[in-house]
């Protein structure tokens, strides 16, 4: 498949993620543009989150403070930065040779596709809610498969098993980091003070 525009690259990402990631990673995009892109994706996530809450109000799994679009956007931005650095360092630790820019570009592209998917999901929620739920479920599962290929190509691991190891280790590092931050700045965990 010849890729001539972003639409073609998006289709190729779904059909052949390894090939799409190689094409994407061959592009030389300045780091400043990558950071700007990640910020833009975070803002678009926040706007779509706010729009979906307006159109279809309901209970949220997030704490109430994060239902404010600005705070939700900050949460997404922080999560993206944590993800980029976690994937970069754990990939390097496991023998990967990818650069920070490679990982940023991969995450930026996949998050851009996620934003496009969110638009489709919002339209489906208003028209065919059952189909929107199926799309979200399917995209979540298949998205992991795509991410495996992108991490594999970005770090030149030549192994989806190693790529899976990088993902698992990255998520563990993020959870550990967040737990430490919460314990340092968030005070004691509710319910534990009675036993200390």
- Model confidence band, residue 2 (pLDDT cutoffs 50, 70, 90): low
| Beta carbons within 8 Å of 67's beta carbon, 6+ residues apart | 53, 60
Query: pTM for this one?
Result: 0.85
Could you report the per-residue pLDDT of 132-157, keeping only the tens digit for each?
Answer: 889 999 999 999 999 999 999 999 99
Angstrom distance (rounded) from CA 192 to CA 196: 7
Angstrom distance (rounded) from CA 11 to CA 20: 9
Whole-number pLDDT of residue 179: 79
Q: How crowded is residue 108: how many other Cβ atoms within 10 Å of its Cβ? A: 22
Angstrom distance (rounded) from CA 130 to CA 185: 41
Give CA angle at 72 (54, 76), nearest 5°: 125
Q: Which candidate, 173, 172, 153, places its Cα nearest to that of 163?
A: 153
Whole-number pLDDT of residue 97: 93
Res 191 pLDDT > 60: no
Angstrom distance (rounded) from CA 188 to CA 190: 6
User: Structural domain boundaries of the chain?
Assistant: 6-195
Token pair for 152: 């594999």
| Beta carbons within 8 Å of 147's beta carbon, 6+ residues apart | 110, 167
Res 192 pLDDT > 50: no
Whole-number pLDDT of residue 181: 66
Whole-number pLDDT of residue 189: 44
Could you report the per-residue pLDDT of 39-87, keeping only the tens digit for each?
Answer: 999 999 989 988 887 777 666 666 666 667 788 888 889 889 999 999 9
Whole-number pLDDT of residue 101: 96
Token pair for 80: 């993206």
Count of positions (residues) in the chain: 196
Token pair for 42: 């975070």
Could you report the per-residue pLDDT of 117-128, keeping only the tens digit for each?
Answer: 999 998 998 888
Question: Please, what sign has the CA dihedral across residues 119, 122, 126, 132?
Answer: positive
């Amino acid at each position: 498949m010849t890729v001539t525009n972003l639409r073609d690259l998006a289709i190729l990402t779904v059909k052949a993620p390894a090939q799409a990631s190689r094409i994407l990673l061959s592009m030389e995009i300045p780091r400043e543009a990558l950071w700007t892109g990640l910020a833009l994706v975070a803002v678009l996530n926040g706007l779509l989150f706010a729009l979906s809450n307006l159109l279809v109000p309901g209970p949220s799994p997030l704490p109430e403070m994060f239902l404010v679009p600005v705070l939700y956007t900050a949460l997404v931005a922080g999560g993206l930065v944590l993800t980029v650095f976690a994937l970069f360092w754990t990939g390097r630790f496991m023998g990967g040779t990818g650069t920070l820019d490679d990982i940023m570009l991969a995450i930026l592209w996949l998050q851009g596709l996620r934003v496009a998917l969110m638009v489709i999901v919002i339209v489906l929620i208003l028209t065919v809610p059952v189909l929107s739920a199926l799309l979200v479920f399917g995209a979540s599962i298949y998205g992991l498969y795509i991410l495996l290929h992108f991490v594999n190509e970005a770090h030149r691991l030549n192994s989806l098993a190693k790529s899976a190891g990088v993902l698992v280790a990255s998520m563990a590092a993020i959870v550990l980091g967040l737990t430490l931050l919460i314990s340092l700045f968030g005070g004691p965990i509710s319910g534990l003070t009675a036993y200390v």
